Structure formats: structure tokens, C-alpha cells
Chain A
Amino acid sequence: MKSLIMAALLALGLHAANKELVVYNWSEYLPESVLEDFEKESGIKVRYSTYDSNEAMYAKIKTAGGESYDIVVPSTYFVNKMSREGLLAKIDKSKLKNYANLDPKLLGKPFDPKNDYSIPYLWGSTGMSYNAKALGEGAVSAWSDLWKKEYAGKLLLTDDLREVIGMALLSLGYSSNTTNPKEIEAAYTKLTTLIPNVKLFNSESPKGVYISEEVVVGMNFNGENYMANTEMPELRYVYPKEGVLVWVDSLVIPKGAKNIEAAHAFIDYLLRPEVAKTISEEIGYATPNMAAVKLLEPEVAANRIIYPTADDLTKSEFQLDVGEAITIYEKYWEKLKTGN
């Protein structure tokens, strides 16, 4: 009798485990309809929760352990940080029928050379925006243009030390992933001369600041510029000459996840061309799914803000984990913000 109950409980437990998938994603990063369709088709119940920074997500996975989530969506350099720390489970690509849809140009990146741990979900860039009505067409084309004297007090920078110092490194011709303290210091010194131009640091919602015309030029994310264009068509997005900062958000399975089977099924579902198309069109960032790109509405596919040309991406760089050198970046970031 006892063993019968045990068996029943075990079966129930397994049943529950197979039927529930816990997804932890960026806020406003997956259309509701996609989740509902997945639930209907697979019979798997999805529990969905969100975060708004890699750091918050990382702190949760690190302290609560991987068993709380089945799918997480870290950005570029958090993938190699987390895999290096053994926080991620290997993905079995034989279970992903739609893996071949992915653009080889976005696979095998340095943060996960064999894509053992991560499957690209959406990608985008951090470049420059400017108000063409206020400054005229073609006013800026390079990061170094931000230093022009006439932009005093008119500039927005993102509130992210890797991006801001990375931008300065690129403008000096260095890699934005450098671990050389001399180069980071040179970028800091160059940034101190940019401060008189800076009106504010904002990563939360740069589009709102551009739309309200508090600033006329500065750094921006491509998706934010795209969304701002519905209200402000004169906001132009620029891929700077010295190279744009590119990032990819990837689907990963944390080590210890309870429902590895369902996680694979979910990843494979998101890789379907028609699903990836819906996501890219509704969220406003680019899909790495080549088959989906073919299905896109022509005006979305032709929009250089979301889908840059190969020329736009010359010299572009993916952000990588810089390891312990991050403390050097932090030190100069604090110096920059305290005006020392």
C-alpha cells in the first residue's frame, strides 16, 4: 500500500514536472500570444516572470540556484560569465528541429563558441541617435562627433559603464572589450572631456528623453529609436564609423532546471519561423532566425534601424566578459561620476 502511494506521488510529481515550464525573461520581451499558443499546442503550462537587468537576473540564479527556472535570457557577456561559473546546462541541439533556421553569422560567437549553452533569441545594437530637425541631416556619423563643442549640455549617454567606456574605447580605436588598464584609463581621460556635453545618463527609457527634446544627440539602443519613430520620425539612428556595440540576448537553461525536456520544446518552438517573425515584429528587435527574416513585413525587413546592412556592422563588436578587469572599469566609472 505504502509503495503504491509512493508510486502515485512520484507519478504525480513527474506529471507536474513535465507540464510546467518556468520562464524568466526581460520585461516586454515576449508577446503574450506566443506564450498562449505554446501552452495550447504543447499542453505545458508556462509560469512567466521578468527582470530588467542582467545583474538582477544573475543575482537570483546565483543565490536561488538553477532549479527555480527552466529558461533564462541573459545578454552577451553574461552567457560566458554564467557558463564559466557552471550555472548553465548544456543544450542538446539534436532536440531542436529548427536550429538550422539560425543565421550562422550570429552563431559561434566568442561568448559561446560552439553554442553549447546558448541559443540566440533577439539581437540589437547600441549606437547613436540624433534629432535631424534640430541638427540637420547627417549631423553625426562617428562616436567622436559627440565631443563637438556645440553639443554642450545636449547629450544623452546610457547609464551603463561597459557601454559608455566601451564607446570611448572604440572612438580611440581600441577594443571595447579590452582588459588593458592603460587603454581603459585613456578612455576615461577622453570621457572627462565629454562630461560638459552630457545632459544625463539614462538606460531606462532613452526614447522618452529624445521625444521630449531634452537632448538632441547621444547614445541609444536601436529598438528604442525604432519605437520613438512612431512619435518622432525625425530621430535618426546612426551606426558610428568606429564600430557599433552589438549584443545578443540568448535562451539558456540553468543548471539544475527541473524541466529540461519542456525547456528544449520551448526553445524549439521559439525557433519556428512564424513564431520568430511575430516576436521580431511585435518587440522591435532583430531576430537571428533567417527563415523568419524571409517572412517579415517588407517595411520591417527593410528598416536599417532593426536590420542593419553588412556595411553598418563593419568594426562592430560584441560585448564580452572582461573578467577581473571589470573592477578597473568600475573604478573609472565612479571617478567619472564623482568628477575626479
Chain B
Amino acid sequence: MRLSRFARFSIALLFFWIVLFAFLPQIMVLIASLFSKGATSFIVFEPTVSNYTRLFDPIYLQIFVDSLVLAGVTTLLCLLIAFPFAAILARSPKAWRALLLVLVIIPFWTSSLVRTYALIALLKTKGLINAALLSLGLIEAPLELMYTQSAVFIGMVYTLLPFMILPLYAALEKIDPRLIEAASDLGAGFWSRLTRITIPLSLSGIIAGCMLVFLPALGMFYIPDLLGGAKNLIIGSFIRNQFLTFRDWPFGAAASMLLTFMMLMLVALYAYRERKAGA
């Protein structure tokens, strides 16, 4: 296959870009994680693996476990909400679909940090939700929404939901509606059609969506900080603290490498499954 000059140029540019801004910084992080912290300098060139062994201290393991639980629950909630949404989207009239997809994407035009602050305006004690419920007489005292675990999940799900909807939609749209009809004709009920036809056929979309939500959820420290009141440390804020507050760059780098490794494993698992499914 001969590539046009433009195609070769684009690929070279992309390759160069990734090496310069993703691969080289990652190598620098790896190197930093293998040296020691100095009392008066960020890194002393004394090789050590203690940054990694320290990560297995119960305190730090707890941070990893908490983050995995947070990301896992967020992913599950996103899946439960996004699946019906994507299914309706995929079965709605063609003319509507483009509009509905644009509506899903529009929030991306605003920074997610700004949208998190907007959520605070909605959720706080004197916020819009409480004001509306109070004036409707549905509640007598304001609900405590801010700085709770629920607020964290509302924020996480709200921010990450589009990442689940889009791959699900892509997978569900491809399912031939005649398959569902045939199942229905043969007497399959709703659950049976869902679990035996729709879900197996959209599995690649479900997995892709889960990855796209789970991986960023691990690093999104500003949502638990802003909406949850910074009461729990998750990996993202832990790494930031090591670099900025505690100035322990090697330890922060080691935590960052462990996170990268976990993510790579998940991606590898996904790639392996896809290849097997393709073969």
C-alpha cells in the first residue's frame, strides 16, 4: 500500500507529537519514580525501589481501593442510566437522532470544572433544587445535598455520562431491528430479548463505554474535592498532593506509574478480547 505524501506527513506528525508529549514525559516520570527525595531538592540521584514498596502501606492501599470503588460505582451508574437512553436514541427517527446526539455533546463545550461549580449552585443548601422544593412545599427543611457521597456520584455521573452514551449508541444502532422482531415473533419477552439479543450484540459498546468512564473516573480528583468536601483522598488528589503540597516527586511519580500500569492492563485486556472476538 502506498501512502500519499500528506498521509505520511500526518502520521509522522502524530507520531512525533505522541513521542514528545506523551512518551517522553512518561519516561521522565518513570525515572523520577526510581530515585529518592532530598530534604532540599525534589530529586536526589540515589536509585531506590522504596517509592514502590511504600505504596503497599495499608494507608495508600486504602486510597487505591477507595478510588477503585468510586470509579466502579460511577461506571455502573453511568451504564444503568446510559443504556436505556442510548437504546431510545438508536431507535428514534433518523431526523431526531442528530439533534439528540448534539444535545449529548453540547455540555463538552464548557469546561467540566465550570460545570462542577454550576452543580454546586444547584445542590447547595440555598441552591436552586432546595429553593424549588421548598417553594413547592414538597420539603420543610432544605435537603443536605452538598458535601455528601451522593453529591460526588451526581457530579461524577453527570460529567462522565456522555462517554458511556456514545459508544453504546454506536453499538446499539448497528443491531438489525429484524433480529429483535424475530425474537419477539418466536415468543421472547422483553427480558429475554434484552439479555439474549441486545446485550450480547452490544457487548463491545458496553465494554468500551465502561473503559471510557472507569479510567478517567480514577483520576478525577476535583469532583470529590469540590462536591464531597475533600473528605476522602483518591488517587488523583493523592498524586497532586505529592507533587504540589508534600514535594515528594519520586513518590508521586511511583503512584502515577502504578495508576498508568493498572490502566494499561485494562486496555490490554480489552484489546485481547477484541482480537479474540474478531478472529
Binding site for B on A (CB under 8 A): 53, 55-56, 58-59, 62-63, 84-85, 153, 159, 161, 198-202, 212-214, 323-324, 326-327, 330-331, 334-335, 337-340
Contacts and interface: CB of A to CB of B under 8 A. Distances in A.
B97 to A, nearest CB: 40
Given A63-B42, A212-B125, A340-B58, A202 B247 contact: no
B246 A200 contact: no
Contact of B146 (A85, A159, A214, A327): A214
- Tell me whether chain B's interface is mostly helix, strand or loop, or mixed: loop
Given A199-B229, A201-B231, A212-B125, A338 B247 contact: no
> For B42, B229, B238, B247, which residue has the most chain A Cβ atoms within 10 angstroms?
B229
Interface in B103-135: 124-127
Contacts of A55: 244-245, 247
Interface in B1-54: 39-42
A202 B229 contact: yes
A59 B244 contact: yes
B66 A62 contact: no
A68 B199 CA distance: 59
B229 A53 contact: no
Contacts of A330: 246
6 contacts: A200-B147, A214-B124, A330-B246, A334-B59, A334-B238, A338-B62
Interface residues of B, number: 28
A214 B147 contact: yes
Interface string B178-211: 0000000000000000000000000000000000
Given A212-B124, A330-B246, A337 B231 contact: yes
Nearest to A340: B59
A332 to B, nearest CB: 10
B229 A213 contact: no
Contact of A53 (B63, B228, B244): B244
A80 to B, nearest CB: 12
A129 to B, nearest CB: 16
B233 interface: yes
> For A159, A212, A327, A337, which residue has the most chain B Cβ atoms within 10 angstroms?
A337
Interface in B196-249: 228-233, 238, 244-247
A212 B126 contact: yes
B125 A213 contact: yes
B62 A340 contact: yes
B40 A198 contact: no
Contacts of B59: 331, 334-335, 338, 340
Contacts of B58: 340
Nearest to B60: A334
Given A62-B42, A199-B147, A337-B231, 9 more contacts: A62-B41, A84-B40, A199-B229, A201-B229, A324-B39, A334-B60, A334-B233, A334-B238, A340-B59
B80 to A, nearest CB: 28
Contacts of B233: 334, 337-338
Contacts of B126: 212-213
A40 B62 CA distance: 57
Contacts of A214: 124-125, 146-147
Nearest to B65: A338
Contacts of A323: 39
Interface in B141-158: 144, 146-147
